[in-house]
């Protein structure tokens, strides 16, 4: 048994026998990247390895000249005698869990993940391992997601009500992942859909990858004849306070995030409506995913890591919280892209 297949180094999660890092936050020679959100995919690495479906989003994040090697899901690669492979994390397009195997010992770093279905990415796949590194963004029992059909029905009702009241529907969501998932679930027969440039940029990447999205126009290309009171507009949270929103006339605003589950989050965001939809696992999702790995040891990062680690330890697992620089949806809650 090789006990320290991964360890927490100043630059990030390090695999000593393989001599590579997983989602490092400081420049390193070799970075294996779980997905292209900015807290996991940082520029400045000498070489990147990611799953094939994630190459375009990673390149958009780390630059056109970055050295990026890709693997198919499940395809093994030997790195200094360590077997490395990537499995679907169900988080956003091209998100992967990193499986590391060496001398009979198997570790899996999940990155960000969700167990709910999502038409815009490959479903989460449990991977058996001895040690599982899990996120805990929504690692409290109060976080239980409602069925998605219910959430989308609510968004559609809000959109129709705004049309009747003669105001535009302005929906704030993460530009990468969440925005495309919302777009995929919208009913385009209700009215025209528009996207902010930051969202439109990633829509193009998703469409190129073969993900079916309804038609959506770039707001910047819209003519003067557009009746915004019929439209639903998807924009990143950062656009909320900007002059960009003025062109739409009277608007109703909404924010789509797992954080909308908490009382007061909508008021703090200063939006009219909150819809609870997350690209992270809820509490039952986290517990089911962890159980499915069969892991005896669990490292818990970002979010409610101490709470989840304590709960797992009470169930007899060797669990502990570790201090990474991943933020989960915390960045979105603060109005940043991530
Ligand atoms: Zn993420």
DSSP string over 67-81: -EEEE-TT--EEETT
Distance in Å, CA 121 to ligand 1 centroid: 13
Closest CA to 318 of 141, 127, 130, 139: 130
Give the pLDDT of residue 338: 30
Distance in Å, CA 322 to ligand 1 centroid: 18
Give, rounded to a whole angstrom, the gap between the first and last alpha carbons of the chain. 37
Which 3 state secondary structure label does DSSP give 31? strand
- Identify the band that residue 335 occupies on the pLDDT scale cut at 50, 70 and 90: very low
Residue with tokens 């520029």: 43
Give the pLDDT of residue 268: 77
Average of per-residue pLDDT across 15-31:
97
- Please name the residue ranges forming H helices in 226-298: 265-269, 283-293
Q: How far apart are CA 305 and CA 327, in angstroms?
A: 11
How far lies 151's CA from each of 32, 77, 137, in Å? 34, 40, 20
Distance in Å, CA 112 to ligand 1 centroid: 5
Average of per-residue pLDDT across 12-30:
97
Average of per-residue pLDDT across 144-152:
97
Query: What confidence tens digit (pLDDT) does each residue in 118-128 have?
Result: 999 999 999 99
What is the rounded (10 degree) CA torsion for 219, 222, 227, 229? 0
Give buried/exposed letters for 221-244 (b at 16+ CB in 10 A, else e): ebeeebebbebbbbbbbebbeeeb
Q: In sequence order, what DSSP letters do the residues of 132-172 get, joined into one string?
A: EEEEETT-STT--PPPHHHHHHHHHHHHHHHHHHT-EEEEE
How far lies 295's CA from each of 25, 33, 126, 130, 236, in Å? 26, 22, 11, 4, 37
Which 3 state secondary structure label does DSSP give 292? helix
Distance in Å, CA 328 to ligand 1 centroid: 6
Q: Are 322 and 305 in contact (CB under 8 A)?
A: yes
Q: What is the DSSP letter of 220?
A: G
Average of per-residue pLDDT across 175-191:
97
Average of per-residue pLDDT across 191-203:
96
Distance in Å, CA 37 to ligand 1 centroid: 5
Distance in Å, CA 74 to ligand 1 centroid: 20
Distance in Å, CA 329 to ligand 1 centroid: 7
Average of per-residue pLDDT across 266-277:
88
Q: Are 298 and 318 in contact (CB under 8 A)?
A: yes
More confident residue, 83 or 324: 83
Between vectors from CA 110 to CA 104 and to CA 111, what angle results, nearest 5°? Answer: 140
Q: How far apart are CA 286 and CA 265, in angstroms?
A: 22
Give the pLDDT of residue 330: 56
Average of per-residue pLDDT across 21-27:
97
Query: What confidence tens digit (pLDDT) does each residue in 284-303 have?
Result: 999 999 999 999 999 999 88
Distance in Å, CA 165 to ligand 1 centroid: 36
Distance in Å, CA 223 to ligand 1 centroid: 34
Distance in Å, CA 95 to ligand 1 centroid: 8
Distance in Å, CA 35 to ligand 1 centroid: 7
| Lowest-confidence pick of 79-93, 179-193, 234-248 | 234-248
- Identify the band that residue 75 occupies on the pLDDT scale cut at 50, 70 and 90: very high
Distance in Å, CA 88 to ligand 1 centroid: 13
pLDDT at residue 195 above 80?
Answer: yes
Distance in Å, CA 265 to ligand 1 centroid: 20
- Identify the band that residue 259 occupies on the pLDDT scale cut at 50, 70 and 90: confident
pLDDT at residue 324 above 90?
Answer: no
């Amino acid at each position: 048994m090789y006990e320290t297949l991964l360890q927490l180094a100043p630059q990030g999660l390090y695999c000593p026998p393989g001599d590579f890092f997983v989602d490092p936050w400081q420049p390193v020679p070799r970075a294996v990247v779980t997905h292209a959100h900015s807290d996991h995919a940082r520029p400045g690495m000498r070489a990147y390895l990611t799953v094939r479906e994630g190459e375009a989003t990673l390149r958009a994040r780390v630059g056109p000249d970055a050295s990026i090697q890709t693997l198919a899901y499940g395809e093994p690669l030997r790195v200094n005698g360590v077997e490395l492979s990537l499995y679907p994390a169900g988080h956003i397009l091209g998100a992967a869990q990193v499986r590391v195997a060496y001398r009979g010992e198997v570790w899996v770093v999940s990155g960000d993940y969700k167990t709910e279905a999502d038409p815009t990415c490959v479903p989460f796949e449990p991977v058996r391992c001895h040690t599982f590194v899990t996120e805990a963004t929504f690692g409290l029992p109060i976080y239980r997601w409602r069925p998605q059909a219910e959430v989308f029905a609510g968004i559609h009702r809000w959109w129709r009500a705004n049309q009747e009241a003669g105001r535009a529907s302005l929906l704030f969501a993460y530009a990468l992942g969440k925005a495309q998932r919302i777009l995929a679930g919208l009913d385009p027969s209700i009215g025209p859909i528009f996207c902010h440039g930051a969202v439109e940029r990633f829509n193009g990447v998703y469409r190129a990858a073969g993900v079916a999205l309804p038609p959506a126009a770039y707001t910047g290309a819209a003519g003067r004849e557009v009746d915004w009171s019929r439209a639903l507009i998807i924009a990143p949270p950062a656009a909320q306070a900007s002059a960009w929103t003025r062109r739409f006339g009277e608007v109703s605003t909404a924010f789509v995030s797992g954080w909308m589950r908490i009382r007061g989050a909508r008021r703090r965001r200063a939006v009219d409506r909150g819809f609870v939809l997350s690209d992270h696992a809820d509490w039952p999702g986290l517990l089911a995913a962890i159980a499915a790995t069969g892991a005896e040891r669990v490292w818990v990062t970002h979010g409610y890591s101490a709470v989840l680690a304590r709960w797992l330890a009470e169930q007899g697992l060797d669990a502990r919280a570790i201090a990474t620089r991943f933020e989960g949806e915390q960045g979105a809650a603060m109005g940043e892209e991530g």
